[in-house]
Amino acid sequence: MTPAARTATIKRFSEDPEITVFLVSLKAGGVALNLTEASQVFIMDPWYNPAVEWQSGDRVHRIGQTRPVRITRLVIENSIESRIVELQAKKAQVSLVWMSVFNILDD
């Protein structure tokens, strides 16, 4: 998709109340996107780096959002995606350990 087509698509979603679904990949959704017109995020392709997923929710949860936001992860049990989610949990634990070692959480 060209930058001009991307801008036009986002504008149409933002302004046309008949459009109720906006599909975006995690990678495309992580760059310069503000979707306060949306109120639900469905993460269907987990990424090994949880920050990428957090960014997708942040695109909807911005200043100007007036509605509650719901973020839902869809993961099939015993799949590659479920293993990615397990890896994310392990990485989060390692981060917490290192932050506590360096007293980052206490400040």
Residue found under tokens 């302004």: 15
Which residue, among 4, 66, 54, 65, has the nearest Cα to 29 in the 3D structure? 54
At 32 the pLDDT is 67
CB atoms within 10 A of CB 5: 9
**pLDDT tens-place string over residues 28-81:** 766 667 788 888 888 888 887 777 888 878 888 888 888 888 888 889 999 999
Alpha helices, DSSP H only, in the chain? Answer: 3-15, 26-29, 50-58, 80-101
Which residue ranges make up each domain of the chain? 3-74
74 touches 43 (CB < 8 A) = yes
- pTM for the model: 0.67
